Amino acid sequence: MNRLESVLGLDLPLLQAGMGGIAGPELCAAVSRAGAGGTLALYKEPPERVRELVRSVAASTSRPFGVNVIPEVTGPAACRAQLRAALDQLPGHGFVTSFGLPDAGTALDIVRSGHVLVIQVGTPHDADVALRLGAGVLVLQGTEAGGHLLGELPTARLLRETRARHPDAVLAVAGGVATGTDLAQVQGQGADGAMAGTLFIPTVESAAHPYYKQRVVDASADDTVVTTRFAIGWPARPHRVLHNALTQNAPRHPATFIATTRAGDRRLPVPRYSAAVPVVETVGRIEQMAMYCGQSCSRVAGQHPATVVVEEIRRTYEAAGQSHDRSTEGEPWKTRSNR
């Protein structure tokens, strides 16, 4: 058992990203039942809905799972309200992930609750801050990752610089991991594990729209671009998406409504250039919406149940690890003890 597995109670050093709109109770529970770290996206959900969602996951799995908050989107007050609701229902072995740095009060609430705080960052400086806030695990997001980007460094460099500053920290990486071989490789570079998002978008339990799922499966790394176009609802943060008509260097179209989607029991309009992703309930110009996707998409094999995806990761990870151990004996970050 490696350090990430030990800290979070996992059987595999892999976390599923808490992707807003996509990572609902079904995906979270399925990933956790398979032995990895399923994560429930709270995104902009109101507290009463948060309680319902967390209860649903807790009823579906006895394995550890996490809830994910995005402080820069919700703001500190709404984020703390979400967390109070989530912590009311989160089992003792559950964990909390924060996309970006939470404020000190929010971090303290989580640490005092006894749940492990996992903070995702994109710079070595933010890693320093996250550890001071009480993070038990850091997720280092490189620019290969899909979705909103927290920094400007590729995964390997961010890992190298952060590991040098914090040799004893529990570090996972996000960006570029879609296979067990990828997972073994980043461990060989100094990580304790990884977080994957793109890998889980096409799964059966994912709430992503079927068109979005198929585009991820069909995509290669060159089909992704970093842009700032999908900024309505989440401004000032570059994001990696699958290219479409709106990502081209062309005049902007009017930000008129192009779709409707569902949030709980409400239907909401979606303007062009919205940060919202197309989910199964979305109706309209799906092809013009933000479809977040990392460069690992070229190694996403198809639309399968999450259990099948995790088991394939486990199989290839264990095979790669055994081979790696034979070839790197004596190197401190490339031994079986880190796995």
Instruction: Please report the DSSP string for 155-183 in residue order.
Output: HHHHHHHHHHH-TTS-EEEESS--SHHHH
Can you list the domains of the chain with their CATH numbers?
Answer: 3-205+301-338 (3.20.20.70), 210-296 (no CATH)
pTM of the model: 0.93
Q: What does the pLDDT look like over 227-251, one tens digit per residue? A: 999 999 999 999 999 999 999 877 8
Q: How confident is the model at residue 152 (pLDDT cuts 50, 70, 90)?
A: very high
3-state secondary structure of 90: coil
Spatial CA neighbour of 54 closest among 19, 33, 76, 84: 84
- Which is more confidently placed, 323 or 26? 26
- Residue 81 neighbours by CB distance under 10 Å: 15
Q: What does the pLDDT look like over 70-84, one tens digit per residue? A: 999 999 999 999 999
